[in-house]
């Protein structure tokens, strides 16, 4: 691992632990025993450093979420497992980090998410299309519309403080939001698949 990658790794850990606002380049150089000059040799400023950290962070989340695709017994539980995995990852991060990210750098976050999760949208689309073909989802469903609503709901869950105040964990939040939405698109076969997955 070269010095640039080490700086990104250490910075990301500090961003996730302390939030973006409280993490300074001075904290980083003290933590890594580097000079400020060394950091600015590789990064223009704190925002550039944050951008590189977000690329690494969201790529790791994307890889974990994508791996869930291969552990699904059927499209409905695959869809639920994907969202559950994503929520567990997101809720494992200090909420101050996401608060700062949403408040100070929403455009940067949106840019990185759009680039990183284009593959995730294709996985969601495949689950829905396979679910329709297999009789798990109703035939009249429009997959892209369903994805748009799920992505909007997920953003509301993870990017606002409303759900944090419920004190519920990822399982309960999923059951009371995303799962209800997915159930509304299921046939009897799809509903049975969800019940079997929860036993």
For residue 154, give the CATH number of its domain: 1.10.357.10
**184 Cβ partners below 8 Å, 6+ apart?**
none
pLDDT at 70: 60
Please check whether residue 55 lies inside any domain of the structure: yes
Please check whether residue 136 lies inside any domain of the structure: yes
CA distance 23 to 47: 11
* pLDDT tens digits, 111-134: 898 888 777 788 889 899 999 999
Mean pLDDT, the chain, whole residue set: 88
Q: Is the pLDDT of residue 179 over 90?
A: yes
Please check whether residue 18 lies inside any domain of the structure: no
* pTM, entire model: 0.76
Please check whether residue 12 lies inside any domain of the structure: no
Count, residues in the chain: 199
Question: Contacts for 22-29 with beta carbons within 8 Å, 24 or more apart?
Answer: 22/96, 25/49
Measured at the alpha carbon of residue 70, what is the angle toward residues 88 and 135, in degrees to the nearest 5?
A: 100
Q: What residue numbers bound the domain in which 152 lies?
A: 46-197
Mean per-residue pLDDT, 148-169: 80
The better pLDDT of the pair 142, 83 is held by: 142
CA distance 155 to 151: 6
Please check whether residue 13 lies inside any domain of the structure: no
Specify the number of domains making up the chain.
Answer: 1
């Amino acid at each position: 691992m070269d010095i640039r990658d080490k700086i990104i790794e250490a910075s990301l850990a500090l961003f996730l632990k302390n939030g973006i606002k409280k993490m300074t380049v001075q904290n980083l150089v003290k933590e890594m025993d580097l000079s400020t000059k060394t950091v600015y040799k590789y990064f223009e400023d704190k925002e550039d450093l944050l951008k590189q950290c977000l690329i690494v962070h969201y790529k790791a989340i994307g890889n974990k979420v994508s791996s869930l695709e291969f552990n699904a017994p059927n499209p409905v539980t695959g869809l639920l497992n994907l969202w559950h995995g994503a929520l567990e990852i997101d809720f494992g991060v200090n909420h101050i980090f996401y608060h700062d990210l949403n408040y100070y750098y929403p455009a940067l976050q949106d840019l990185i998410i759009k680039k990183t999760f284009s593959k995730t949208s294709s996985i969601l689309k495949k689950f829905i299309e396979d679910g329709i073909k297999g009789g798990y989802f109703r035939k009249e469903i429009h997959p892209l519309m369903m994805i748009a609503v799920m992505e909007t709901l997920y953003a509301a869950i993870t990017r606002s403080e409303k759900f944090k105040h419920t004190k519920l964990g990822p399982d309960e939040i999923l059951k009371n939001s995303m799962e209800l939405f997915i159930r509304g698109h299921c046939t009897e076969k799809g509903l049975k698949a969800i019940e079997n997955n929860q036993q």
